[in-house]
Amino acid sequence: MHTPLKDKSTIADIQTRFDSDVERFSNLETGQAATINAPLAMELITQAAISATPTIKRCLDIGCGAGNNTIKLLREYSGDFDCDLCDLSEPMLQKAEDRLSSETSGTIRKFHGDIRELPLPEEGYDVILAAAVLHHLREEDDWESTFQKLYSLLRPGGSIWVSDMVTHENPKIHALMWQRYADYLTELGGEEYQQNVFAYIDKEDSPRPVTFQLDLFQKVGFETTEILHKNSCFAAFGAIKGK
């Protein structure tokens, strides 16, 4: 990635792109086609959330998009729970609310805005889901303050589960894994598609290694961390807050 952090897409830029892409993200199987093993990652974070936090009364889905991950969790969980949805895109939030209304009798609340700025209840959630959203964080202090907020939002014993794009600490391994991703995209949609995806990643995203994020989870107070899956530059992982 060559675009300096200061020149990456703004929050408004990201919001505009997702405002116009609601329908694509409204399919559980194909909504993240550009992400390697997206259905598997969704399955794993769902099962991990239920295993680590078997009593779920309220879930927070940050960068919820059209609601796929919360829908998946509701379908796997043996009961209803309240759902708080957070996204930069109002059309995405509306789509998520519409879809979730037929999945749960629990309360659905929408929070339009940036997770870093939204007034959310401390220790208010049993589970937090963060799919393809944390890679929009920029500077290191931005990552740390956001992770600290996520920790504060979970009740004791609660857990957070992430599926996201990641980088690698060793330059040669990084190059290897991103070449594998390039090959995947080329096979999926051709060379021009691969180049277009890499162009918007370079402009919009600023992912960090799994190791960086797991260390940060522990630094802000989480008791345990878990890696569920990794393939090329995508990973599913999480952290559990002590009781």
pLDDT tens, position by position, 131-184? 999 999 999 999 999 999 999 999 999 999 999 999 999 999 999 999 999 999
Taking residues 78-96, report their average pLDDT: 94
- CATH class, domain 5-240, is alpha beta
Higher-pLDDT residue of 67 and 34 is: 67
Q: Is residue 190 scored above 90 in pLDDT?
A: yes
Residue 124's pLDDT band, with cuts at 50, 70 and 90, is very high
Least confident range from 23-37, 96-110, 121-135, 213-227: namely 23-37
Q: Is the pLDDT of residue 14 over 70?
A: no
The whole-number pLDDT of residue 6 equals: 74
pLDDT beyond 70 at 24: no
| Confidence (pLDDT) at 30 | 45
- Domain extents in the chain: 5-240
Lowest mean per-residue pLDDT among 28-42, 70-84, 186-200 = 28-42
Q: What is the mean pLDDT of residues 203-209?
A: 94
pLDDT of residue 102: 94
Q: What SS3 string covers the chain?
A: CCCCHHHCCCHHHHHHHHHCCCHHHHCCCCCCCCCCCHHHHHHHHHHHHHHHCCCCCEEEEECCCCCHHHHHHHHHCCCCCEEEEEECCHHHHHHHHHHHCCCCCCCEEEEECCCCCCCCCCCCEEEEEEECCHHHCCCHHHHHHHHHHHHHHEEEEEEEEEEEECCCCCHHHHHHHHHHHHHHHHHHHCHHHHHHHHHHHHHHCCCCCHHHHHHHHHHHCCCEEEEEEEECCEEEEEEECCC
Higher pLDDT, 144 or 5: 144
The model's pTM: 0.91
Mean pLDDT across the chain, nearest whole number?
Answer: 91
Q: Is the pLDDT of residue 31 over 60?
A: no
Judged by average pLDDT, the poorest of 6-15, 32-41, 48-57 is 6-15
Average pLDDT (64-75) is 95
Considering the chain, what percentage of its residues have pLDDT values greater than 70? 90
pLDDT greater than 80 at residue 16: no
The more confident residue out of 240 and 4 is 240
